[in-house]
Amino acid sequence: MSPAFRLAPGAPGARILGLGSFQPENVVTNDDLAERVETSDQWIRERVGIVERRIAGADLSLVDMAAEAGARAVKDSGLAASDVDTVIVATCTMPNPIPNAAAQTADRIGLAAPGAFDLNAACAGFCYALGTASDLVRAGSAQNVLVIGAEKLSDWLDWDDRSTCIIFADGAGAAVVGAASDADQVGIGPVAWGSAGDMNQTIRVLPESGALYQEGQAVFRWATTKIAPVALRAIEQAGLTPADIDVLVPHQANLRIVEAVAKRLRAKGAREDMRVADDIVHSGNTSSASIPLALDHMRAQGRVRKGETVLLVGFGAGLSYAGQVVVCP
Residues marked as catalytic? 123, 251, 285
Contact 188, 128 (CB under 8 A): no
H/E element, 247: strand 247-250
In sequence order, what are the residues at sequence separation of 6 or more whose Cβ sits closer than 8 angstroms to the Cβ of residue 319? Answer: 121, 122, 123, 124, 195, 196, 199, 200, 203
Query: Strand 115-119 to strand 86-90: parallel, antiparallel, or no bridges (unpaired)?
Result: parallel
Dihedral pair phi/psi, residue 55, rounded to 5°: -125, 130
| Nearest Cα to Cα of residue 137 among 293, 269, 9 | 9
Contact 74, 110 (CB under 8 A): no
d(CA 10, CA 99): 35
In sequence order, what are the residues at sequence separation of 6 or more whose Cβ sits closer than 8 angstroms to the Cβ of residue 229? Answer: none
Contact 289, 269 (CB under 8 A): no
Q: Which long-range contacts (CB under 8 A, 24 or more apart) does 181-186 make?
A: 181/10, 182/12, 183/12, 183/13, 185/13, 185/15, 186/12, 186/13, 186/14, 186/15
Query: Strand 320-327 to strand 192-195: parallel, antiparallel, or no bridges (unpaired)?
Result: antiparallel
Dihedral pair phi/psi, residue 139, rounded to 5°: -80, -15
d(CA 134, CA 119): 15
In sequence order, what are the residues at sequence separation of 6 or more whose Cβ sits closer than 8 angstroms to the Cβ of residue 257? Answer: 220, 223, 224, 227, 250
